[in-house]
Amino acid sequence: MGITKPDDYLRTLSDAIHTMRNRPGARVQSLAESSFDAWIKFSRSTPDDANFTVSFYDVGALASLLMDMELRSRTKNRVSLDDGMREMYRRFPLSGNGYTTADMIALLEAISESPWDDFFARYINGTSQYPFESALEVVGLELSIQSEKKRNGGAVVRSVLSDGPAHAAGVMLGDEIVAVNGRRVSASQFDEWIGLLQPGDAVTLYIIRRDELRTVAFKLAGKPNGRWKVSRMKDPTDSHKAAYQSWLHQEWPKKSSEET
């Protein structure tokens, strides 16, 4: 019926935040730029997209969530984005003209009685990281890093993140990794070997590029080894529970799910 359960939604939200925070393109292209470029580039994808672009669909959904949480926080849960969109529909019906960014900002300022220029400058037209740690608190949620034991990947390089040490060392798309630190590895073994190393450890990859054997050396970066996870607070206040219910139209579970 198209209805998503709260726990399923929180898992989907966790995945979306994890993807955005591990995409270098989120620090390069703004949401507004992504939306504009979609009309001139016809959404053509390339293997290097993650380094320079974001999806206006994916980031747009997160921006809407951030906007909703910001409205609830500023108005003590008196106003939500739902209220804002209903008012926008009243002001700009389908039979009339469209609306501009300035129109949206004006409405947000009217219903929240506070300025929104900085929000749009940072998160819509800019590339500031979305502060979900603080934003989600209003509805009783927490964002944290959870350990991730299973690693996915293969011996053939499918993408190289521009902010990582492998990119700086010269690893390229299509390189076939045949050995790590002098030990031959298969596609299924590569992640296991890398998983044994720690941030700062020296790594030498033996790769084949255009039938030529090469070596690439670098040090592992110290990025968090895990996934971002959204979960319910263990000890929410009554206001947290009320905001959560207003947001998802579901009561706060009697016992928070640790599987979320």
pLDDT digit string, tens, across residues 21-30: 989 899 999 9
Same CATH fold assignment for domains 6-147+225-248 and 165-219:
no
Report the CATH number of the 6-147+225-248 domain. 1.10.390.10
What pLDDT score was predicted for residue 166? Answer: 82
Q: How far is CA 24 from CA 21, 76, 251, in A?
A: 8, 34, 37
Do 4 and 12 meet the contact criterion of CB atoms below 8 Å apart? yes
**Is it the case that residue 1 has pLDDT exceeding 60?**
no
pTM of the predicted structure, to 2 decimals:
0.75
Q: Which pLDDT tens digit goes with each residue over 141-187?
A: 999 987 554 444 347 887 677 777 887 888 887 888 888 888 888 87
Q: What is the pLDDT of residue 150?
A: 41
Report residue 200's pLDDT band, with 50, 70 and 90 as the boundaries: confident
Domain borders along the chain are 6-147+225-248, 165-219
Mean pLDDT throughout 4-21? 95
**Topology at the third CATH level for domain 165-219:** Pdz3 Domain (2.30.42)
Q: How far apart are the first and last CA of the chain?
A: 22
243: confidence class by pLDDT, cuts 50, 70, 90: very high
